[in-house]
Amino acid sequence: MSRMATQTGLTGKRAKGLAEFRLIPRIETYPAIVSFAQTPLGKGALLAVFGLGVRYFFPDLPSLLTLLLPLALITFFPEYRRFVLAISPIAIVFMQAGSDPVLLGLTLVVIAIGILLYWCAMCWPHSRFGQRPVAFLLTGFTVLIVLAGFAAPQSLPAMILWGLVGVLSSYVWFIAYALTDRNTKPVQELTLELTAFRPLWGSTATPFPKGAAYLRRIEAKSPEQLAVVQLKGLKLLAWAILLAVLQGLWQRFFHGYLRIPTAEQALAMSVHRTPVAWHLCWESLILAFFELVLSISVMGHRIIACCRLAGFNALRNTYRPLSSTTIMEFFNRFYYYFKELLVDLFFYPAFLRYWKGHKRLRMIFATFAAAFFGNGFYHFTRDWQIIQHLGLWKALLNYQTMIFYNAALTAGLCFSQARQRKPKTAGLFRGHIVPVFGVIVFYCLLSVFEISERMYPLVEHLRFFASLFFIHV
Amino acid sequence: MKGRAEIHEFVQELLTRSGDNQPLTDQDSLLLSGRLQSIDAVEIVVFLEENFGIDFAQIGFDRDQIDSIDAIYALVQKSATQN
């Protein structure tokens, strides 16, 4: 009996040890390291190690210094954090667009428009604009694209309008977040709002990590908090480098050594009526899914690591996506800040205003507003060069595969939300392994409509999809 | 206090449903800390609408308002005073 108890105890300890095992140690929990990171020597060491690590992603020295110098200032003089972060994006604009006066002028105009809109929303909160500022902003952006489309090609108005569309497309979601901040208490300082406009640590068109109100909540407020957040940033950077190395090895092994085609190649061969074997189609799709997870993880971890070094304890962009047991959970864990953008700017406004008396319809409508309309609008306007090149109508036709993708994703999310209300099945196999497998299969199949989505019409994607199930059309 | 107990019970249920069995205090951050997700925030919104008659379309929605049990209870009290 005692032997059994001892064995059970040992197994329990082993399981606990395994669960607590970390490839990268949790250095932010070691008091000695946290104390050291608060000393001038420790700060210098932390910055040096971070600089060496981040060099992996910034091979050119000027870009590296543009990031590291403000981070060093913030680390040694945290009281000037907001000031440094507020002027850095403007300084970066001058450095990057300084040689192109038109681009510089347009960028400054867009930033000024953003500040003006924010100020108007604050001054007149009960006006039509003050109540729905984001809707006004997005409508204005759409009108600008339509106007640019009508302007005679190569003319001066067309150049200015498309230039404005281009710059605004990279700022529009930052401005939208600033406008939603009008609801937060206390009201944001302008310096913090400027910090969030394409911040120092980098972003895609999606603001990382959200707007100024979020930054205020997650800002380190003491030297100890700053040290902990910075150590977490260093850890995340190490994780990003590890994943980037794995990404390189993955590519070489599967596509180089095993010669499995990429999903783009498999689709292209299907389009040219020389399809690859069915198992290679599946293999290429599964590989593409994992490659996408890896690349989004590396990109997000790098940005959030830099954000944490600046003293903001932001959540990771990608967090254990492969442990998701529902479609909804994967969507949440895979690209967190894009999902948050859709939720904050499309889902909540729709959910809080419409179909209040119809529970299920309300949820479906809000999900449609976010995953179908918001997602579609985001990608359509982000790729504004295609609209400029093809014209509005042809660009919309060219977008058919993405529209189908968004519709399928929305249906999947609605289905997942409906199922989420039911109690979860217990057991490792039925409660975890089967659902995780189902989620991966769903997103693998969905990715058929994401690969080369602008290159071929929807019918070619459907043909490739059908061929996965031995249906040859 | 009845309101606070109801809120606590509801939030605890949401946490349990998402597999979070850690202790919960009234000051704990729910959304900002990542313990609850956006979909759970929606559940809290519906719960407050149905049980306390709060209309977020009228008062404006900010996640800070529902980030902890204390914050939710303050919102409920504020709404009751205004009504």
Note the pLDDT of residue B2. 62
CA distances from A311 to A144, A146, A186, A222, A234 (A): 37, 41, 20, 10, 12
Chain B residues with CB-CB distance to A359 below 8 A: 46
Residue B21, pLDDT above cutoff 50: yes
Q: Is B60 on the interface with A (CB under 8 A)?
A: yes
Per-residue pLDDT tens over the stretch A255-298: 999 999 999 999 999 999 999 999 999 999 999 999 999 999 99
Q: What is the mean pLDDT of chain A?
A: 89
Cβ contact B57–A353 (<8 Å)? yes
CA dihedral over B57, B59, B64, B66, signed as positive or negative: negative
Note the pLDDT of residue B55. 87
> B29: nearest CA in chain A?
A217
> B39: nearest CA in chain A?
A417
- Label residue A126 exposed, middle or buried (CB < 10 Å: 0-12, 13-18, 19+): exposed
Q: Is A420 on the interface with B (CB under 8 A)?
A: yes
Q: How confident is the model at residue A308 (pLDDT cuts 50, 70, 90)?
A: very high
Question: Are the CB atoms for A304 and A208 separated by under 8 Å?
Answer: yes
Q: How confident is the model at residue A4 (pLDDT cuts 50, 70, 90)?
A: very low
Q: What is the mean pLDDT of chain B?
A: 87
- Other Cβ atoms less than 10 A from the Cβ of A236: the count is 24
Question: Are the CB atoms for A336 and A296 separated by under 8 Å?
Answer: no
- Mean of pLDDT values over A11-17: 63
Buried b (16+ CB within 10 A) or exposed e, A75-103: beebeebbebbbbbbeebbeeebeeeeeb
Question: Are the CB atoms for A454 and A292 separated by under 8 Å?
Answer: no
Residue A189, pLDDT above cutoff 70: no
Residue A193, pLDDT above cutoff 90: no
Pick the residue of B17, B29, B38 with the most A CBs within 10 A to test the interface with A by mutation: B38
Cβ contact B62–A183 (<8 Å)? yes
Chain A residues with CB-CB distance to B45 below 8 A: 351-352
pTM exceeds 0.80 for this model: yes
Which pair of tokens denotes residue A248?
Answer: 């390189």
Residue A7, pLDDT above cutoff 60: no
Of A184, A319, A417, the CB nearest to B39: A417
User: Which of A11-25, A83-97, A367-381: highest mean pLDDT?
Assistant: A367-381
Q: Is B74 on the interface with A (CB under 8 A)?
A: no
- Mean of pLDDT values over A38-46: 96
> A342: nearest CA in chain B?
B38
- Mean of pLDDT values over B15-30: 87
DSSP-assigned states of every residue in A205-257 = SS-TT--HHHHHHHB--SHHHHHHHHHHHHHHHHHHHHHHHHHHHHIIIIIII
Question: Are the CB atoms for A218 and A192 separated by under 8 Å?
Answer: no
Note the pLDDT of residue B71. 93
Of A185, A217, A352, the CB nearest to B57: A352
Residue A30, pLDDT above cutoff 80: yes
Note the pLDDT of residue A418. 83
- Other Cβ atoms less than 10 A from the Cβ of B31: the count is 18
First-to-last alpha carbon distance for chain B, in angstroms, is 18
Tell me the residue type at A270. S
Residues 6+ apart with CB under 8 A from A143: none
- Mean of pLDDT values over A337-354: 93
- For chain A, the residue count is 473
- CA A108 to chain B, closest CA, distance in angstroms equals 30
- CA B15 to chain A, closest CA, distance in angstroms equals 13
Residue A43, pLDDT above cutoff 90: yes
- Mean of pLDDT values over A323-352: 93
Q: Is B64 on the interface with A (CB under 8 A)?
A: yes
Q: How confident is the model at residue A14 (pLDDT cuts 50, 70, 90)?
A: low
Least confident of A21-25, A235-239, B64-68: A21-25
Note the pLDDT of residue A191. 66
Least confident of A201-215, A301-315, A369-383: A201-215
Q: How confident is the model at residue A13 (pLDDT cuts 50, 70, 90)?
A: low
Residue A437, pLDDT above cutoff 90: yes
Q: Is A193 on the interface with B (CB under 8 A)?
A: no
- Mean of pLDDT values over A316-340: 93
Residues 6+ apart with CB under 8 A from B75: B48, B54, B65, B66
Per-residue pLDDT tens over the stretch A113-141: 998 998 898 888 888 998 899 999 999 99
Q: Between residues A126 and A31, which one has the greater pLDDT?
A: A31
Residues 6+ apart with CB under 8 A from A55: A64
Residue A1, pLDDT above cutoff 50: no
Residue A313, pLDDT above cutoff 70: yes
Question: Are the CB atoms for A471 and A312 separated by under 8 Å?
Answer: no
Of B32, B45, B61, the CB nearest to A183: B61
Note the pLDDT of residue A36. 95
Q: How confident is the model at residue A359 (pLDDT cuts 50, 70, 90)?
A: confident
Cα(B66)–Cα(B83) distance, rounded to whole angstroms? 19
Q: How confident is the model at residue A449 (pLDDT cuts 50, 70, 90)?
A: very high
Q: How confident is the model at residue A2 (pLDDT cuts 50, 70, 90)?
A: very low
- Vertex A302: Cα angle to A300 and A308 (nearest 5): 100
Cβ pairs bridging A and B (under 8 Å): 37
E-strand ranges in A242-331 read none
> A353: nearest CA in chain B?
B57
ipTM of this predicted structure:
0.88
Q: Is A183 on the interface with B (CB under 8 A)?
A: yes
> B47: nearest CA in chain A?
A359
